[in-house]
Structure 1
Amino acid sequence: MNTSKRSPVPLWIIFTAGIIAISFSSIFVKLSAAPISVSGMYRLFFTNLLMLPIMWKYIPEIKKLSGKDWLFLIGSGIALGLHFLLWMASLRYTSVASSTVLLTLEPIFVLAGAFLVYRERTTAAAVAGICLAVFAAMMIGAKDFSISGTALQGDLLSLLGTAAVAVHMLLGQKLSKHISSLLYSFVVFFVAGICFAIYNGFNSYSFVHYSFNEWGLFLLLALVPTVFGHILFNWLLKYVNAASVSSAVLGEPIGATLLAWMMLGESINWVQILAGFLLILGVWVFLRNNHVRYEPQKAH
């Protein structure tokens, strides 16, 4: 794993905490009866509210942001909003295991994008680790995949959402080198929330008429998978590359599938348990061997 700075906290602790946190996301979405875009909007706006008391410290930094910085921040926010909308919608059509398993393709998209945009190359061992982890993740959700009906629609939505979050991660890797992680998170969450608000207004969804239980789920979505998941991962971009951070999603199928089994009654079998161990092994191999190299740019 390539690092330009040394983290004050062991990276495995941050990765583990983040994976556990994001694993709850699909459970809260499944439990909510509100429109997906409304859940996503309040997830982000509530996160902004939780962060607001400390954002005054970043006012001087905000004033120094360039027009290019704002352009990339807005692009990253739009990509994140699109990810949440597509992935959360997929959970209404397919199982937690199937939807979260497709998110494991994120590191592949990020590796490809990092090579094309930043000329980053990794090692053969790291690629082997990613392939093993993705194969294992596919085993976890294999029984849920379908070639017809609503399950296929859900799988496609999850796949498109994965591509969107890869764009978000690549932009975040560039911005986090000179922008504070909390400021970056606050701005992109706000931009994504505004996108949701526009979408909800266009579709005439109610902004207020929801039960106490729904408001509780909106808050949980903000507090658990967003604050302790996405914000932690955005912070990690200061210490590791986007591909390494993206590899954390490879652990989500394990956590989400176990939680869905315990809380939602979705089934789990021995193949998925075995695949979980292989997935952990693949992630470990990737993180141990992802030493980034840069190809020299050709003169034009």
Structure 2
Amino acid sequence: MRKTAPIPTAIPLTIGIIAVSFSSIFVKWSAAPASIQGMYRLLFTALLMLPFIRPHLAELKSLSLKKASMLFTSGFFLALHFLLWMGSLKLTTVSSSTIILALEPVFIVIGAFFIYKERTSSFAMFGMGVAIIGAVLIGWGDIGVSRTNLIGDLLSVFGTLAVSVHMLIGQKMVTQVSSYVYSFVVFLSATIVFAAYNLIGGISFTAYAGKDWGMFLLLAIVPTVFGHLLFNWLLQYVSATTISMSILGEPVGASLLAFLLLNEQMTWFQILGGLLAIFGLIMFLNAGRLKWKPGKGGSTEPLKSVS
């Protein structure tokens, strides 16, 4: 049985949706490479978590090699996600990139089927198909814009695949370690991966303007602390399904912010594709948890959730 939240859950959910919607805006406002933005975003987040780590020190010290390896792997794919997705924002529009990123639940359910043998309903699969068609239309619309935009769309697709692997690992690991320890170790691991990438690539760690450093800090505080960490905290009080629905709010919020702050426009192909993708995802996320099979005596019982 879930705990009762100290405040109405709609409040932190709304805060989280607004917070993650700003992520793409801050990325666009910084001229620093995506690998540097990602590294400092996660490093600063880990540093902000550090003052509250004392109650979790014993758990950190007792981590087995196997658990630590899985957490590092999760961090590796988180870093890969940020590298590809934040890189895509340098090449395509906020609307295209974030709507494609919203296909994350589709990739997760496919991965969960092969890894955890979890099934979903035919109606949910239909919704998945609609969402994929919408994503294809977004890419098709960007073909008419430029080849660069299309490459950005592809980077967003691969970035979504990477974060899906990260989430599938996390689905297992959060049952073995606390959400705070999971987030802290994964963020530090991703920071190390980024640092190695930047070092090998000869990318400067410090040659950035004051505005860029401000964006690094904002990326850590707004979409990470008030977004991702807040969603992790909410898992104590609401289902993963409820939180995953918030992913549909990001492309809407991010597109609106991009229109107001970056003066980005969308083609009709992109608008139609975005609406189809969001509609398909709504069908998928709702139907995916309403799977039933005949029980004894002709009654019904729920199948295992895909969350």
Give the TM-score normalised by structure 1: 0.84
Q: What CA distance in whole angstroms lies between the structure 2 residues aligned with 1:279 and 1:5?
A: 31
The 10-residue stretch of structure 1 (282-291 or 107-116) with the greater mean CA deviation from structure 2 = 282-291
Task: Give the alignment's Cα RMSD to 1 decimal.
Answer: 3.0
Q: What CA distance in whole angstroms lies between the structure 2 residues aligned with 1:17 and 1:128?
A: 31
Is 2:89 the partner of 1:91?
yes
* Secondary structure of 1:121's aligned partner: coil
* Secondary structure of 1:120's aligned partner: coil
Q: What CA distance in whole angstroms lies between the structure 2 residues aligned with 1:214 and 1:19?
A: 24
8 A contact 1:19–1:252 mirrored in 2: yes
Q: 1:141, CA displacement in angstroms?
A: 7.1
1:204 corresponds in structure 2 to: 202
1:150 corresponds in structure 2 to: 148
2:117 corresponds in structure 1 to: 119
Match of 2:165 among 167, 175, 190: 167
* Structure-2 change in CA distance of 1:236 and 1:165 (3 Å): farther
* Secondary structure of 1:153's aligned partner: helix
2:15 corresponds in structure 1 to: 17
Number of residue equivalences = 291
Match of 1:109 among 99, 107, 110: 107
8 A contact 2:103–2:281 mirrored in 1: no
Query: Bigger radius of gyration, 1 or 2?
Result: 2
Q: What CA distance in whole angstroms lies between the structure 2 residues aligned with 1:138 and 1:164?
A: 19
Is 2:74 the partner of 1:100?
no
Task: Provide the identity percentage.
Answer: 52
1:298 corresponds in structure 2 to: none
Q: 1:48, CA displacement in angstroms?
A: 0.6
Q: What CA distance in whole angstroms lies between the structure 2 residues aligned with 1:231 and 1:96?
A: 23
Match of 1:259 among 253, 257, 260: 257
8 A contact 2:142–2:270 mirrored in 1: no
The 10-residue stretch of structure 1 (14-23 or 77-86) with the greater mean CA deviation from structure 2 = 14-23
2:27 corresponds in structure 1 to: 29
Q: 1:54, CA displacement in angstroms?
A: 0.3
Q: 1:176, CA displacement in angstroms?
A: 0.7
* Structure-2 change in CA distance of 1:169 and 1:234 (3 Å): farther
8 A contact 1:106–1:246 mirrored in 2: no
8 A contact 2:91–2:151 mirrored in 1: yes
8 A contact 1:104–1:137 mirrored in 2: no
The 10-residue stretch of structure 1 (199-208 or 40-49) with the greater mean CA deviation from structure 2 = 199-208
* Structure-2 change in CA distance of 1:13 and 1:270 (3 Å): farther
8 A contact 1:134–1:250 mirrored in 2: no
8 A contact 1:250–1:279 mirrored in 2: no
Q: 1:185, CA displacement in angstroms?
A: 0.7
Match of 2:69 among 60, 68, 71: 71
Task: Give the letter for the 2:149 counterpart.
Answer: A
* Secondary structure of 2:102's aligned partner: helix
The 10-residue stretch of structure 1 (205-214 or 227-236) with the greater mean CA deviation from structure 2 = 227-236
Q: What CA distance in whole angstroms lies between the structure 2 residues aligned with 1:124 and 1:290?
A: 9
2:229 corresponds in structure 1 to: 231
Q: Which runs of 5+ in 2 are unaligned?
A: 292-302
Which deviations, in whole Å up to 9, do the C-alpha atoms of 1:42-80 show, x marking residues without a partner?
Answer: 000000111110011101111232222111101100000
Is 2:214 the partner of 1:219?
no
Task: Give the letter for the 2:147 counterpart.
Answer: G
8 A contact 1:145–1:155 mirrored in 2: no
Q: 1:282, CA displacement in angstroms?
A: 5.0
Give the TM-score normalised by structure 2: 0.82
* Structure-2 change in CA distance of 1:79 and 1:22 (3 Å): same
Q: What CA distance in whole angstroms lies between the structure 2 residues aligned with 1:188 and 1:52?
A: 13
Q: What CA distance in whole angstroms lies between the structure 1 residues aligned with 2:208 and 2:145?
A: 35
